[in-house]
Amino acid sequence: MESVVSELEGTLLKDPEAFSYFMLIAFEASGLIRFTLLLLLWPVIRLLEIFGHEDDGLKLTIFVATVGVPFTEIEAVARAVLPKFYLDDINMEAWKVFNSYDKRVVVTKMPRTMVEMFVKEHLRADEVIGSELSVNRFGFATGFVKDGFGSIHKSVARLFEDEQPSLGLGRIKCGGSGSLFLSLCKEECHPPFINTNKENKNHMIIRPLPVIFHDGRLAKRPMPSTALLILLWIPFGIILAAIRISVGLILPMWAIRHIAPLFGGRVIVKGNPPPPASASSSGVLFVCTHRTLLDPVVLSTVLLRRIPAVTYSISRLSEILSPIPTVRLTRIREVDARKIKRELEKGDLVVCPEGTTCREPFLLRFSALFAELTDRIVPVAMNYRVGFFHATTARGWKGLDPIFFFMNPRPIYEVTFLNQLPVEATCSSGKSPHDVANYVQRILGATLGFECTNFTRKDKYRVLAGNDGIVSQTSANPVLGFVNMFKKLAASFIIH
């Protein structure tokens, strides 16, 4: 069996520095104070790396980022937040070489819990060798690692026993101990990486499994300069968000689009929206992709009228701040159907059949309920761009979602109106509600360049938060969520 052992930092990941990932742990698992403290210590950490022992800077980073943090929180951030940023930094050439071997082992100096889920599920590694965080009997990280970093070489030797790994991937380090495992391998390979293995049994797999679900507020990886910029911006962002929200609540709809650019916001409109429903006809059902809680609000702003939106499981604060009427659903099919029909008799209505937001260029499975209730269906492709903060969360407080969106320097929304579905594409022509829902999903996905999936709201919350998205369930098993998700994802890759 051909085997490969690869360094993570600087090899499978382009960036050799792990500091930004600990900044994410500090921000998402603890908060702004720890995030600020770690950034303030960055010059000291750099000096220790340059003039001190090789691993002194890393030890200080781990201590400040994790001491006193519940270990479950660190695991949650590693599961829900870090994979997206790891994947963005993947060295594809190194990964192709890594993926061409039968047995794949990843070596890292980061705590194993920070990388294990990502490298096993997305990079298809078989084993992960890294440092182990020390945890006290109350479940809090002590900030120290067990056995230090020198045990990595021994762990690799123990894993392979008398066998030599076929190939070692890693950087050349003068006088360092980080890549000592390379001496255990039959061959060594350093940058640049070229895939020379002709017998690639996984030749059909050309990229790592994508990250579909992720959480956390930060939209950019907090490198020291980026983190400093975010910290300096936050006070101004809070003031700006308060002004933007106040403007949206006070001014009439026709004025918001003219005032928003003055405060840095922008809405891009494509396609031709339909006219308002007449008194003699039922309303139009706008079927939107779901990017943030503000999708229906932005749509109403574009249409210059306050269109009610159906909602489920949003915070009371979001309902209070909403400048449009909201219709809270129950997830009881018959009850929700009656509510939607009643609203359509009054006029137009907005629905997001994905049932939850998705940040990445994927669409979740559409609920078919909307297709049963009306034939006047107008698909609307919604998308957004932000600079610093995401406006969605699965693990945090949803009431802050609109605030974080408006804290961005230049938030941009894109609204694309598609043509109303022809009668032959609706249930009136004999099509099943599921066929109609899948068709709408496909045309919206094609418009945005997104990939359609069969994942649901429950899949998202089981992966990110360990519950089904309805109530907090501490007994839920997030590992089971991962297993089910990746089974479905792997199956979809085989099908396509």
Mean pLDDT computed over 308-313: 86
pLDDT at 280: 59
- Give the other-Cβ count within 10 Å of 317's Cβ: 15
pLDDT at 476: 39
In the predicted structure, residue 331 carries a pLDDT above the cut 70: yes
In the predicted structure, residue 496 carries a pLDDT above the cut 70: no
In the predicted structure, residue 473 carries a pLDDT above the cut 70: no
Task: Give the residue from 182, 191, 218, 209 showing the smallest Cα distance to 118.
Answer: 209
| Residue % of the chain over a pLDDT of 90 | 58
Mean pLDDT computed over 449-455: 95
Confidence at 314, pLDDT banded by 50, 70, 90 = confident
pLDDT at 116: 95
Instruction: Please name each of the domains of the chain with its CATH number.
Output: 3-189 (3.40.50), 224-453 (3.40.1130)
Cβ atoms 283, 347 nearer than 8 A: yes
Task: Give the residue from 461, 462, 441 showing the smallest Cα distance to 451.
Answer: 441
Paired with 311 in beta bridges are 328
Confidence at 197, pLDDT banded by 50, 70, 90 = low
Confidence at 176, pLDDT banded by 50, 70, 90 = very low
Q: What is the mean pLDDT of the chain?
A: 86
CA 52, CA 46: separation in Å to the nearest integer?
9
Task: Give the residue from 379, 369, 377 showing the smallest Cα distance to 432.
Answer: 369
Find which of 210-219, 325-334, 463-472 is predicted with most confidence, using mean pLDDT: 210-219
In DSSP notation, 307-338 reads --EEE-S--HHHHHH-SS-EEE--S-HHHHHH
pLDDT at 323: 85
Dihedral sign, CA of 21, 26, 32, 38? negative
- Which of 104-118, 247-261, 396-410, 414-428 has the weakest average pLDDT? 247-261
Task: Give the residue from 437, 453, 464, 462 showing the smallest Cα distance to 490.
Answer: 453
**Who's near 323: CB < 8 A, 6+ residues apart?**
248, 249, 297, 300, 306
Q: Which pTM value belongs to this model?
A: 0.87
- Coil, helix or strand at residue 136: coil
CA 127, CA 123: separation in Å to the nearest integer?
11
Cβ atoms 111, 135 nearer than 8 A: no
In DSSP notation, 114-129 reads HHHHHHHHTS--SEEE
CA 404, CA 211: separation in Å to the nearest integer?
22
| Residue % of the chain over a pLDDT of 70 | 88
In the predicted structure, residue 474 carries a pLDDT above the cut 50: no
CA 211, CA 451: separation in Å to the nearest integer?
12
Query: Terminus-to-terminus CA distance in the chain, angstroms?
Result: 29
Mean pLDDT computed over 309-314: 82
CA 357, CA 460: separation in Å to the nearest integer?
9
